[in-house]
Structure 1
Amino acid sequence: MGTVAKSSITLVSISDAYSLSLTPNSCVIKADFDGSNPKLEHAYTIISAYCGDEKTPIEIDSSTIVKSNDNIEYQLIKVDSYRYRLSIISLPIDILQGYIEIPVLSGVSAGLTGRFTFSIVRESTMLDWIQDWESNKTTIGSSYVITPKIFVGKKIIGSHDSLEDVPGLTGVYIGPSENNGAGIYGYKDNKEIFHIDQTGGKIGGWDITSGGIQCEDGTLSIKSEGTISAQSEGIIHWSLNKDGSASFANGNVTMDVEGNASFKGTIETSGGSIAGWIIGADSIYNGTIGINSLKKFIAIANVASVQDIGNQLDWVKEYGGVAMYCISNTNYGLIGYKNNEKVFSAGSDNFIAGWNFNEKAIFSGIQTNSGFTTKSGDITISS
């Protein structure tokens, strides 16, 4: 009998990929307008190397550096066996960007190279040619003139006995102010008509601030954020806000952004409409319904459109309808008409279906003082 032997081989893929990490791999450095005074506190990177997909740290060594500019100064410090810290400590003022390359050696890899890049952002609050200016001198360049003070205008010298009668200076002055500031000032006959300086400005009676403009006594202001308002003694009299809301009458009338309004006072009008009702001089009416405050009635008439004229009988008599009225304590009630004939009346005059009635009886004819009708054919029904 023969013996057959079997065996197997397991193949394991071993990754020997190495990678170099710079954290971060670039930076932005701020400097003055001419490249001086670079801010280098964050101009550094941490260098480390890894092996395989699991990113296993490996020991590294580095001693050489390649720079994009020979005048770049750096500092390379070994943090531990696995990390280096590369810092930029000085830069020439004539470059806007650059890099430092770092070749790294390790015991398992022939060598890796990383590049730390940087860019310079020059900042200035003024134009560069003004920054270079020596402030006490007048400088004339190919395309500019810089001078401490300048005045454009005229000077009128009079021969009047009183200096107040002399018109004096009229023009524009640009330069320093009395409190070591600077600004633009306009004069007419020695009187300032506008100025703009470090404290703000004024023109045409309006004060200019960083937040907006306001009239001389501060009662009316237009804010740069979008609000227009009038106020005094701490009270906002009216305000139009940038979101569309508003307030008037010292806050007693307000309107929100949806158009909802609130009134704390009274409303008077002799025209217009509200909720579908037409507003007249003394009444409001809508279609066949009218309410009159002067003539003291509410009427519903069989008419296409009630008008703001006439009284309660005009509408209901001519077109048919119902009216409730109160002219006086002896003339009041509820009446109804059809085809110009009275159908019923209740109040100071009580009538329905040809019968009169009061608080004691229903009757046909005329009652006497006794409470009964006496004429032939009349009838009284009394409780």
Structure 2
Amino acid sequence: MELGISMFGDLHVDSQTGKIQSAQQRLAELMEEIKLADEVGLDILGIGEHHRAEYAVATPEIILAAAAAVTKNIKLTSSVTVLSSSDPVKLYQNFAMVDLLSNGRAELMAGRGSFTESFPLFGYNLYDYNDLFEEKLALLLQVNTETKVNWQGRFRASLFGQEIYPRTEDRPLPIWIAAGGSPDSVVRAGKLGLPIMFAIVAGTPLMRFKPLYELYRETYIETGHDISDYQVGMFSHSLFGEDEKEVSEYYYPLYKGQMDRIGKSRGWSPFVREQFDYGQSPEAALFVGEPSAMVDKILYAEENFGLTRFIAHLDVGAPSHKHLMKAIELYGTKIAPQVRAALNKN
């Protein structure tokens, strides 16, 4: 099982003044965190796309290209790219360049977008939410395997024998599908034989997702895809510290602040401590605590879901750079080695 991190470049928001951290400062910190993740031997780095005031990253592939220059081994993926409001041709070109810069370490994770600010920003109608994703995914998959493309659709100009460069070397670009719980998304990914990453966040009970993992596996096998290529992952909000009580007390106000900022625009009730505490329990999807408890929790998820990849999403609510560096250090030096050792025994 691959073990990695993802970050969105959350900007710290002062709870008293509302002042937002400078994006320039956060991006500088982010590069140091990425370098450390590679140095401590983590497998995956994911960077997400947002178009809101509280985030520093609007284009993941720019950060991934910078990461390619300062890392040696870690895989570099978007987490996620909002495919529905992007141009698949340009996306392929951008990620092919990251792949070339990183000597074959780039991946793309495509999602429909739980944050929808990019739709009006780039001139798309939310009414077309599902149709946009299906059409653009089909084009992206075609571009990924064919240099000369003929294509017609509803949402972009047609292509007639258009050659698309640069190309990745030796293999197509790995493309994952991000899913938040829609059975239709699961079935689509399974039929296409594309790896799937489930976002299981906040206080969600882990077992609520077991039927979806089973649906994906069943669809994947029934469609005739090679089980040796089967890949399935899990993405969950996380923060690690030496002392569970200490890291929990530190993180709760930051996590609540971000949940409430997002929730205000979505009509959610205010996030409360009981949700946070339940999320930290073994059966729920908030990976906040000390290394041994996190090892047990990751292994519990792997055992129940057959995971081939686990992504700890670390910067919800903008924990300090110091806390993020500590979390990455603990993940790479204590948590990941213990998880790998336990899996190797099996």
The normalised TM-score by structure 1 is 0.14
Larger radius of gyration: 1
Bigger RCO of structures 1 and 2 (CA < 8 A, at least 6 apart): 2
Structure with the bigger percentage of helix: 2
| Higher percent of residues as strand | 1
